[in-house]
Structure 1
Amino acid sequence: MPFLVHTEYETKRGFNYKFVAMVLGLLCLFQVMFLGISVGVSLYYKDSGLYSLLYTIGIDLIIGVTLYFLGRNHTEYDTGRREGMVTVSLSWVMMSLLGMMPYWLGGFIPNFSEAYFEAMSGFTTTGGTILGDIESLPRSILFWRSITQWIGGIGIIVFLVALIPFTGENASVVFDHETTGITHDRFVPRIGVMAKWITLIYVVLSILCALLLWAGPLSLYDAVCHAATCISTGGFSTYNTSIGDIDKDYTNIVLTIFMFIGATSFTLIYFATVRKEPKKLFQDSEFKWFVSIILLLSLISGLWLYFGGFYSSFGKAMEHAAFQVMSLISTTGYVIQDYNFWGGPFWVIALFLMFVAGCSGSTSGGLKMIRFNILTRNLLNEFKRRTHPQAIVPLRYNGTVIKEKVVNQVYNFFYAYLTIIFIATFSISLEGFSLTDAVSASIACISNSGPGLSAFGPMSNFSSLSDFNTMLMSFLMLIGRLEIFTVLTLLHRSFWRN
């Protein structure tokens, strides 16, 4: 449909493809910077990842410059919700397509669907892998693999908005559709300022985590790689057995602390640190539920591991239980021991933690603790309504009444979340996998938590899936990271009606 011009002061109506092209072009150029750092790692270690990284930079530059010039004069046209959803969805797809090139072009992951899965798992901070021998990859490729999770941790659009000054409402258009869901009140009036603060906090925490890990048993290279995948709650490791190859008390404690921070709302972290208002953090209902569940399930898991005979030391049982609970609820996916052998009771705990996950406004995936909080409170209120049909029982959160519209959104999200898990479970089970295999793989991917159970457990990988289901799991990771509706709305025909 042609654009309509109303006055010289109004912008043109229609789909602003120029804005979409401009943002995608900038993201390509943004990715080149991190690929360049990976090239530096390759040159330092003289490994075989150099040429695939250089080829990827060339492709990135060509596509980025082309899209950026196609997006010139994008301010002459209106930019709205449709452009925002398309831009954000295509951003993650495109970044993963280009991000897979070092794996694919270098022959390190020759299968296209598996290379794309690995890249999408990185950018969405899922942490699931198709690699059987991680340590066989060049250090520069493993570094790039870790950096993809760091980029995706707070969101690629958040980085872009923080670094590039957008005009008008354009920053809000893309920012809101990447950081979707129920979030805390914004702490600054402008989206650009918010993105800068989030990015600054993220960078400072990453550096601090790397320095603390380096002070322990890790080399600088391993410390940087693990810091990048820890604060982003991604979980990629440079070792085949994840953290099991390290398993030092000091390292476990540092990683546990930063997984906890990564799964906490960055808005609340801002208030507690920059604004020096820690009361906002400790008075927040979601945060209190988050901490309570971690403490309760860590204690239950530790007791089970000790009295179940899995550990002879109570202290070690509690340490490993707390680490694994934190890894699962933050959707990081680090592993110390193969919890496939920890028995059915821990499997139930693991599935619950992967399903619910961390706080809104954090780097973790899953249903989010705030939605679980609202669902639970509304269920308890329903008992009161049944007992007293005439009573008005408002649903309160942090002392504020939750609107019915918000409650409906939570239920719709919950329904869509379960439906997609059911469909994916059915698809995987057609390949002959057990129900446990299929359910855990589906939850692990849509919640961006990484490893699942049994055949897709912590010491296994996703390479046994067919190409179709590998791509399906990549799609689940994408919609899970963008909280379902941003992506699925694009598939509805009404979206494309002008």
Structure 2
Amino acid sequence: MQLTAIQRILGLLLALFSLTLLPPLAISWFARDGAAFAFLLAWGLILTAGLIMWLPVRNIRTELKLRDGFIVVVLFWVSLGLSGAIPLLLSEFPRLSITDAVFESMSGLTTTGATVLTGIDSLPLSVLFYRQQLQWMGGMGIIVLAVAILPMLGIGGMQLYKAEIPGPLKDAKLTPRITETAKALWYVYLGMTILCALSYWVAGMTPFDAIAHSFSTVSIGGFSTHDASIGYFDSTAIELVAVFFMLLGGMNFTLHFLAWRSFSLRPYLHDSEVRAYVTFLFALSLVTIVYLLYIRPEVAAADSLRDGLFQSVSIATTSGFTTASYQNWPTFLPVLLLFASFVGGCATSTGGGLKVIRVLLLVKQGLREVRRLIHPNAIFSIKLGGRSLPDRVVNAVWGFFAAYVAVFTLLMLLLLATGLDQITAFSAMAACLNNLGPGLGDVSAHYGPINDTAKWVLVVAMLLGRLEIFTLLVILTPAFWKK
């Protein structure tokens, strides 16, 4: 294990992260919103910490191994969550405790979108921008951004890329060099963000709101500059823009790159996961809309159509934006939407959840077992996109699912032990482990009312969800530390 190399990279990444405090610092300076000193001091502290780690080992030129990549990713996300809390902790408004500041920071960086804040509309502009920027940086993963510049730092990046990119199929690269792969993903991500911001602006948002919401839409984050979220604007055009870019954000970003490079929709049309993703969202939206029309005859049909479509896409993709209090919808709809978040987005997307491709493979495996019961001597293979998958891929999916269920159960029991009721504990764990955000019960509006111990449990859940469980769990196993 290359400890000095890990220290060097971690210090450089912290120094890199400190630069992200300069935009909100500039906004605070020009807006004179009173938060400039907090961002300036936070920038100095994080930059100093990074340099202290980097300077003693700056001349180390050792190649990272795969185990080192896991450690760098986990340590960086933990330190990032703590460092990101510093501006929120130092700011005069809002006044946050250490627990609340770390919760808000980790929620932003993991694109969970759960918040402890109220009165968001009255927050300083720089703080509003900073919250949105956290989600944008966490969406694709700041480490993938760092991978794009790691060659000039003298280190290989494939180990970090494999540990960071979400999804079960991580071995395929878009380009021959990993640096070019990371750059390609970020070009797509940046281009989509710009298009989303322009679309929001044309649809009626102010330039500030358009940029801020483009950050949290493309990243499938869900933070907003208003307490009422997207519902604040009460605009069909804005909601349609949000739905469109939430759909794109929940798709595999490698497909976006391939479609852009070939100027063709074929990569989407020929992808089994995208077809399952769109089919699932269509069915969920249809059920929600029809049921809303049935149980709310007094509400205009157009409003039920808007609410059903928006909330279905928002919750199922784990975005977490709201236009209506879906938590208060009658009967099974709130629970249906919450369960939809377990499916989440596609692999290598900014969405959370189990990922569509894993759910698709689980269904195919279940059907194969049924056929085996009928024909015990037959040999059946699982195919995806016309190709048979090796059993190790299916076994890996089952292993992930088993770990997911075990982690979910354990952490939910811990939440119940802190005093939360069953609905609140279940929905909060689902919302945070799936990186969704809004829950049910006491966390339907925000997470401020729950106790500090529960918030720390949920912080762990957010990190596990963002790193897809195994990345964090693997470093806790004794075998990982054996030579």
AA aligned to 2:202 is A
The residue number in structure 2 matching 1:339 is 326
AA aligned to 2:11 is G
Q: Does residue 179 of structure 1 match 2:165?
A: yes
Change over 3 Å in CA distance of 1:168–1:335 after alignment to 2:
same
CA distance in 2, matches of 1:310, 1:337: 17
Q: How far does the alpha carbon of each residue in 1:106-135 deviate from its partner, in whole angstroms, 9 at most, with x for none?
A: 242431111101000000000001112222
Q: TM-score, normalised by structure 1?
A: 0.94
AA aligned to 1:69 is L
Q: Is the Cα–Cα contact under 8 Å of residues 418 and 453 in structure 2 kept in the other structure?
A: no
The residue number in structure 2 matching 1:493 is 478
Q: Does residue 467 of structure 1 match 2:422?
A: no
Change over 3 Å in CA distance of 1:115–1:16 after alignment to 2:
same
Q: How far does the alpha carbon of each residue in 1:55-80 deviate from its partner, in whole angstroms, 9 at most, with x for none?
A: 001101101222222332332x3521
SS at match of 1:356: coil
Matches within 5 A, 1:351-366: 351-366=338-353
The residue number in structure 1 matching 2:18 is 32
CA distance in 2, matches of 1:421, 1:250: 37
The residue number in structure 1 matching 2:464 is 479
How far has the Cα of 1:250 moved from its partner?
Answer: 0.7
SS at match of 1:73: coil
Matches within 5 A, 1:313-332: 313-332=300-319
The residue number in structure 1 matching 2:56 is 70
The residue number in structure 2 matching 1:9 is none
CA distance in 2, matches of 1:392, 1:196: 42
Matches within 5 A, 1:185-200: 185-200=172-187
Given candidates 129, 141, 160, the residue that maps to 1:155 is: 141
Given candidates 226, 234, 245, the residue that maps to 1:258 is: 245
* Segment of structure 1 superposing worse, 420-429 or 249-258: 420-429
The residue number in structure 1 matching 2:123 is 137
The residue number in structure 1 matching 2:284 is 297
SS at match of 1:165: helix
CA distance in 2, matches of 1:34, 1:384: 54
Q: Is the Cα–Cα contact under 8 Å of residues 22 and 72 in structure 1 kept in the other structure?
A: yes
The residue number in structure 1 matching 2:31 is 45
Q: How far does the alpha carbon of each residue in 1:373-412 deviate from its partner, in whole angstroms, 9 at most, with x for none?
A: 0000111111110000000011111111111111111111
The residue number in structure 2 matching 1:128 is 114
Change over 3 Å in CA distance of 1:70–1:82 after alignment to 2:
farther
CA distance in 2, matches of 1:421, 1:436: 14
How far has the Cα of 1:168 moved from its partner?
Answer: 7.9
How far has the Cα of 1:432 moved from its partner?
Answer: 3.5
AA aligned to 2:343 is V
Given candidates 426, 433, 436, the residue that maps to 1:449 is: 436
CA distance in 1, matches of 2:63, 2:173: 25
Aligned residues: 481
Matches within 5 A, 1:232-271: 232-271=219-258
The residue number in structure 2 matching 1:4 is none
SS at match of 2:289: helix
Matches within 5 A, 1:375-414: 375-414=362-401
Change over 3 Å in CA distance of 1:311–1:386 after alignment to 2:
farther
Change over 3 Å in CA distance of 1:311–1:247 after alignment to 2:
farther
CA distance in 1, matches of 2:7, 2:315: 37
AA aligned to 1:41 is I
CA distance in 1, matches of 2:331, 2:72: 43
AA aligned to 1:48 is G
The residue number in structure 1 matching 2:77 is 92
Q: Is the Cα–Cα contact under 8 Å of residues 281 and 313 in structure 2 kept in the other structure?
A: yes
Change over 3 Å in CA distance of 1:42–1:307 after alignment to 2:
same
SS at match of 1:206: helix
Change over 3 Å in CA distance of 1:169–1:378 after alignment to 2:
farther
SS at match of 2:437: coil
* Segment of structure 1 superposing worse, 282-291 or 160-169: 160-169
CA distance in 2, matches of 1:311, 1:437: 30
SS at match of 2:308: helix
CA distance in 2, matches of 1:420, 1:232: 25
* Segment of structure 1 superposing worse, 323-332 or 24-33: 24-33
Change over 3 Å in CA distance of 1:168–1:400 after alignment to 2:
farther
Q: Is the Cα–Cα contact under 8 Å of residues 232 and 364 in structure 1 kept in the other structure?
A: yes
How far has the Cα of 1:94 moved from its partner?
Answer: 1.1
SS at match of 1:355: coil
The residue number in structure 1 matching 2:410 is 423
Q: Is the Cα–Cα contact under 8 Å of residues 63 and 156 in structure 2 kept in the other structure?
A: no
How far has the Cα of 1:310 moved from its partner?
Answer: 6.5
Stretches of 4+ moved more than 4 A in 1?
Answer: 166-169
Seq. identity, %: 34
AA aligned to 1:424 is L
CA distance in 1, matches of 2:166, 2:436: 18
Superposed CA RMSD = 1.6
The residue number in structure 1 matching 2:91 is 106
Given candidates 12, 15, 18, the residue that maps to 2:4 is: 18
Q: TM-score, normalised by structure 2?
A: 0.96
Q: Which runs of 5+ in 1 are unaligned?
A: 1-14
CA distance in 2, matches of 1:322, 1:169: 46
CA distance in 2, matches of 1:376, 1:74: 48
Q: How far does the alpha carbon of each residue in 1:137-183 deviate from its partner, in whole angstroms, 9 at most, with x for none?
A: 21101110100000000001111112342678720011100014323
AA aligned to 1:61 is L
Change over 3 Å in CA distance of 1:419–1:33 after alignment to 2:
same
How far has the Cα of 1:414 moved from its partner?
Answer: 0.7
Q: Is the Cα–Cα contact under 8 Å of residues 127 and 235 in structure 1 kept in the other structure?
A: yes
CA distance in 1, matches of 2:431, 2:297: 25
Change over 3 Å in CA distance of 1:47–1:433 after alignment to 2:
same
Q: Does residue 81 of structure 1 match 2:73?
A: no
CA distance in 2, matches of 1:145, 1:264: 24
* Segment of structure 1 superposing worse, 345-354 or 441-450: 345-354
Q: Is the Cα–Cα contact under 8 Å of residues 21 and 70 in structure 1 kept in the other structure?
A: no
SS at match of 1:233: coil
